[in-house]
Amino acid sequence: MTGNRNPLINGLLKLHITLCLIFIFTPIAGSFVFSLNSDRFPSLPLGSFSTEWYRLIWEDPLVWAGFFNTLLVGACVAAIATLLGFGGAYTDFRYKFFGKPVYLALALLPPTIPVVIMGLAMLAFLSRVSLSGNVISVIIAHGVMCSPFAMAIIRLRLSQMDPDLEAAAWNLGGNEWVTMRHVIIPFTKPAIYAALFITMAVSFDEFAVAWFVSGLNETLPVKVLGFLQGQVSPRINAIGSLAFVSSISFIVIAQILMRNPESKPS
Amino acid sequence: MLDTPIVHFDNVVKKFGSFTAVEKADFQIARGEFLAIMGSSGCGKTTTLRMLAGLEDPTEGNILLDGKKINGKPTWERDTPMVWQSLALFPFLTVQENVEFSLKMRKVPKGERRERARKWLDRLGILEFADRNISQLSGGQRQRVALARSLVTEPKILLLDEPLSALDAHLKVRMQSVLSGLQKDLGITFVYVTHSMSEAFSMADRVVIMSRGKIEQIGTPEEIYREPRNRFVAGFLGSSNVFDGRLKSSGNEVWQIETEHSSFNLKAPSEVQKTDGSPVAFAVSSENMSLATIGTPWAGNSIEATVVGGEFAGASATVFLETDQGQELKVQKGHDELKTVDIRAGQKLLVHWLPEHCHVLPGE
């Protein structure tokens, strides 16, 4: 790794990064430490080491139900959002049409809408079409929120593609669908995988919209709020740690996939 | 059937909105011919090629391939493979898989596919790289992969869009001989688009010169070089000294042309008929003009002009001059021949040339 040539600036930059990382990770690390602490309340000095809280959530059917909901939603959302995102990105890559900037702005808009407004709007809309309070409603809402992420990732990859590549495949005898299968998808494959994992991670952690639309089929983050409202239990630390480990794994996998796009997909 | 041309452009027009990219292209390409389409960027040469490949549809007119109209037929249903300027090799496939691609599209069984691809890799001398990724190859090797990939279906015609423009000078010359050798051996038609005169003239049987969507001249390199049809072609080939005038007297041997400068003599052209008094334009190649000090006696054509500047790099020197009437002249000479004259900006010199070095432009 190359740093700044001035050792003072270099040192300060490194210090800055370190402080940022500490700022971000201290609460998470704290939560992790307290999840393994036997005391009822998170306070210093620490009590003894204990896996009691993990055992409690392991035995709690409500936590499991929430976890499975989250997983189901995440998997469906990843598939739907990546498909939509791919379509959006490919449209941008392939076609020139009137109002394209507007199309792009609208397609990439959802993450900029405040989640509370998004959640309310989703609830209002979905209840009108009788789809609220359902796992499907969470999937729809998260699909809307996540597809811009998938689109951005796949668009980036498509922008690295030689624009002649697709026409070359047509010229060599592949029609548009065959070319899609043999050229466009293989080329964007790393980005497609990355998009699957990122959208899954986003859906996994999303709370506000899920809270509005999930009804009785709560996802894990919504369940956590339920716990907090009832009683402060170190079980939350345990759930938080597990949720953190799973999301960060998705992100890490996505990063690895995006890092080496020229590697030959099998 | 063999007498029908492989390609016939029948009054083809291509418009993009209000912009006319190709204007009434009307020519034929013979079987087994190496045809180069040459022009500067934006002249419509690539559009012409892309229409033949099926990547653009003509706005008007018909394109016939092998006697059959192919307008509107998508590129994947024609067998008109193209070698791209960017090469457009598939980066996620190996060399072998790249070459096999069009066979795979045609559902050729795996074993045969492999066999045929390897034959072409071998023929182009890149068999040893068959299992490599494209990123591991040099520019020249990639070029050969692109050729093999297009030739593997053994098409009747191969389209090439400035395929050598990314290569360095040495490699370019080597690939030129690979290409012309290949074309002769295979006996198939090559349509080669380029902006480089040296590429077009060294390889092609016939050259099409285009400018601003129009075909300016079609002919063998020799014909074009010796007898440019109009001032654009003359300028394009570097014989940029064009004079306009009227035919004063047309003898059997000598024509006398009256211009704004003075009257010039030129050797009567055999293939051009003009009546006395009609406008005539003629070109003099910059290599055929010489410079002398004012007052030097001279029997041929001569004109006084002022030196504007010069370029003295390379094997020959180019001197730019301007006549009193404001016409620009370009004279190209070896350094030795210019030793005797004083070339400084502002210096007046005598520009002279022989009557037989004047070429009447029939298209003007």
> Of B243 and A218, which is predicted with more confidence?
B243
Residue ending a domain, among B194, B226, B258, is: B226
CA distance B266 to B271: 14
- What is the domain partition of chain A in residue ranges? 60-259
Distance, C-alpha A246 to centroid of its chain = 11
Residues B165 and B261 in one domain: no
Beginning with the edge strand found earlier in the chain, give each strand of the sheet holding B279-284 in spatial order: B263-267, B254-259, B241-250, B279-284, B358-360
Domain identity same for B19 and B115? yes
Q: Using CA atoms, how far apart are residues B328 and A136, in angstroms rounded to an integer?
A: 78
Domain termination site, one of B208, B226, B244 = B226
The shortest CB-CB distance from B55 to any of A171, A182, A265 is to A171
> In this structure, are B206 and B241 located in the same domain?
no
The pLDDT of B215-235, averaged and rounded, is 88
Query: How many C-beta atoms lie closer than 10 Å to residue B299's C-beta?
Result: 9
Subunit contact A171:B149, Cβ cutoff 8 A: no
Q: What pLDDT, on the 0 to 100 scale, is given for residue B339?
A: 79
Q: Give the domain extent around B76.
A: 5-226
Average pLDDT value for chain B: 89
C-alpha distance from A143 to closest chain B C-alpha (Å): 30
All residue ranges of chain A with pLDDT < 70 are 1-4, 216, 232, 260-266
**Based on the domain organization, do B120 and B44 belong to the same domain?**
yes
Q: Please report the pLDDT score of residue A89 as a whole number.
A: 95
- Kindly state whether residues B220 and B317 are assigned to the same domain: no
Phi-psi region of B291 (alpha: psi -120 to 50; beta: other; left: phi over 0): beta
Beta bridge partners of A248: none
Residue B18's domain is classified under what CATH number?
A: 3.40.50.300
Q: Which fold has domain A60-259?
A: MetI-like fold (1.10.3720)
Domain boundary among B203, B226, B249: B226
Helix, strand or coil, per DSSP, at residue B316: strand
pLDDT at B196 exceeding the cut of 60: yes
The answer to whether residue B54 neighbours chain A at the CB level (below 8 Å) is yes
If pLDDT is split at 50, 70 and 90, which confidence band does B239 have? low
Taking contacts as CB-CB distances below 8 angstroms, the residues of chain B near A187 are 90-92
| Binary contact (B86, A175; C-beta < 8 A) | no
Cα–Cα distance list, B227 to A52, B134, B205, B233, B301 (Å)? 97, 45, 16, 9, 20
Give B293-331 pLDDT, tens digit per residue: 888 877 788 888 999 988 887 778 889 999 888 888 888
CA contacts within 13 A on the Cβ side of B159: 26
B126 shares its domain with B79:
yes
Residues in chain B closer than 8 A to A178 (CB atoms):
105
pLDDT at B159: 95
What whole-number distance in Å separates Cα of residue A222 and Cα of residue A211?
Answer: 6
Q: Is B81 within 8 Å of A172 when comparing Cβ atoms? A: yes
pLDDT at B103: 94
Q: Note whether B173 and B115 are same-domain residues.
A: yes
Across the interface, of A162, A164, A170, the residue whose CB is closest to B75 is: A170
pLDDT tier, B1 (very low <50, low <70, confident <90, very high otherwise): very low
Given a cut of 50, whether residue B153 has pLDDT beyond it is: yes
pLDDT digits (tens, 9 = 90+) for B25-68: 999 999 999 999 999 888 999 999 999 999 999 999 999 998 88
**CATH code, domain with B286:** 2.40.50.100
Indicate the number of domains in chain B. 2
pTM of the predicted model as reported, rounded to 2 decimal places: 0.79
> Is residue A132 helix, strand or coil?
coil
CB-based contacts of B208, cutoff 8 Å, min separation 6:
B27, B35, B36, B37, B38, B45, B215, B217, B218
- β pairing state of B34-38 and B206-211: parallel
Q: Which of B264, B209, B255, B202 is nearest to B231 (CA)?
A: B209
Q: Give yes or no: residues B39 and B104 share one domain.
A: yes
Q: Which of A158, A161, A171 to mutate to test the interface with B (most CBs of B within 10 A)?
A: A171
Contact B65/A at CB under 8 A: no
What whole-number percentage of chain B has pLDDT above 70? Answer: 99
Output the pLDDT for position B47: 94
Phi, psi of B339 (to 5 degrees): -60, -35
Which chain B residues are closer than 8 Å to A262 by Cβ? 91, 133, 135
Q: Nearest to residue A163, comparing CAs of A182, A178, A184?
A: A184
Residue of B55, B73, B75, B108 to mutate when probing chain A, most A C-beta within 10 A: B75
Over its C-alpha atoms, chain A yields an Rg (Å, rounded) of 22
Residues B183 and B241 in one domain: no
Same domain, B32 and B135: yes
Q: Are residues B242 and B144 in the same domain?
A: no
